[in-house]
């Protein structure tokens, strides 16, 4: 089975200068925990990603910043996003997608065309809801993705800046 058969197509994207509040509203309205960040709306060139966890750890849990620097209506999303992207292509096999999820300990993978243009997103929930996981694969994949790492308490944006 190919990724194109299970992916969510044409996800709503933001640009780096959009605010954290804009991204949070998209997450709420579209019932998603991830928003791709593109260079501009015309090119759809993927430059980053923000998850609900990134927002929480960057804006709420970060104590060293001033209250003004944590105001979601003022903080550009580029301060919360990570540029360390896990991607695949629409014609990739779902088995390859599962390996990417395990290797990178992520529940969502961005789908791009031959370069970096965003085409969709596949989440572990998409795979489970569409019955796309081979037998026994659900438990193993969830276990691998959920294994704690030393970087788990850091926002992904910080980890990306530190070269991790």
Residue 57, in any domain of the structure: yes
- % residues pLDDT > 90 (the chain): 52
Question: What are the structure tokens assigned to 13, written together?
Answer: 């994207």
Residue 140, in any domain of the structure: yes
Question: What are the structure tokens assigned to 21, written together?
Answer: 């509040």
pLDDT band at 158 (very low <50, low <70, confident <90, very high): very low
- Phi first, then psi, for residue 57 (nearest 5°) are -70, -35
Residue 156, in any domain of the structure: no
Provide the pLDDT for residue 135: 59
Question: What are the structure tokens assigned to 111, written together?
Answer: 């789908």
pLDDT band at 160 (very low <50, low <70, confident <90, very high): very low
How much is the pTM? 0.79
Q: How many CB atoms lie within 10 A of CB 157?
A: 22
37-41 mean pLDDT: 93
- % residues pLDDT > 70 (the chain): 74
Residue 159, in any domain of the structure: no
Residue 60: exposed, middle, or buried by beta-carbon count in 10 A (0-12, 13-18, 19+)?
A: exposed
SS (H, E, C) 34-45: EEEEECCCCCCE
pLDDT band at 70 (very low <50, low <70, confident <90, very high): confident
Give the domain range for residue 14. Answer: 3-149
Does the pLDDT value for residue 162 go beyond 50?
no
Residue 164, in any domain of the structure: no
In which element (H, E) is residue 20 found? helix 20-30
52-78 mean pLDDT: 81
129-138 mean pLDDT: 64
Nearest of 54, 42, 36, 29 to residue 123 by alpha carbon: 36
H helices within 82-136, ranges in order? 94-104, 124-129
Residue 163, in any domain of the structure: no
Provide the pLDDT for residue 19: 96
> Which residue do the tokens 């903080």 mark?
75
Number of structural domains in the chain: 1
Question: Any bridge partners for residue 78, and if so which?
Answer: none
106: domain CATH number is 3.10.580.10
Residue 113, in any domain of the structure: yes
Provide the pLDDT for residue 164: 28
Residue 85, in any domain of the structure: yes
């Amino acid at each position: 089975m190919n990724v194109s058969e299970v992916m969510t197509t044409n996800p709503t994207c933001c640009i780096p200068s959009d605010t954290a509040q804009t991204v949070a509203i998209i997450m709420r309205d579209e019932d998603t925990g991830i928003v791709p960040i593109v260079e501009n709306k015309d090119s759809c060139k993927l430059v980053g990603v923000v998850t609900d966890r990134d927002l929480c750890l960057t804006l709420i849990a970060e104590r060293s910043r001033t209250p003004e620097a944590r105001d979601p209506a003022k903080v550009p999303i580029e301060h919360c996003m990570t540029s360390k992207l896990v991607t695949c292509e629409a014609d990739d096999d779902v088995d390859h997608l599962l390996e990417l999820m395990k290797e990178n300990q992520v529940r969502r993978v961005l789908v791009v065309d031959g370069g970096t243009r965003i085409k969709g997103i596949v989440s572990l929930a998409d795979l489970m809801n569409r019955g796309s996981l081979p037998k026994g694969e659900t438990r193993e994949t969830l276990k691998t993705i959920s294994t704690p790492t030393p970087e788990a308490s850091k926002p992904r944006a910080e980890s990306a800046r530190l070269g991790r």
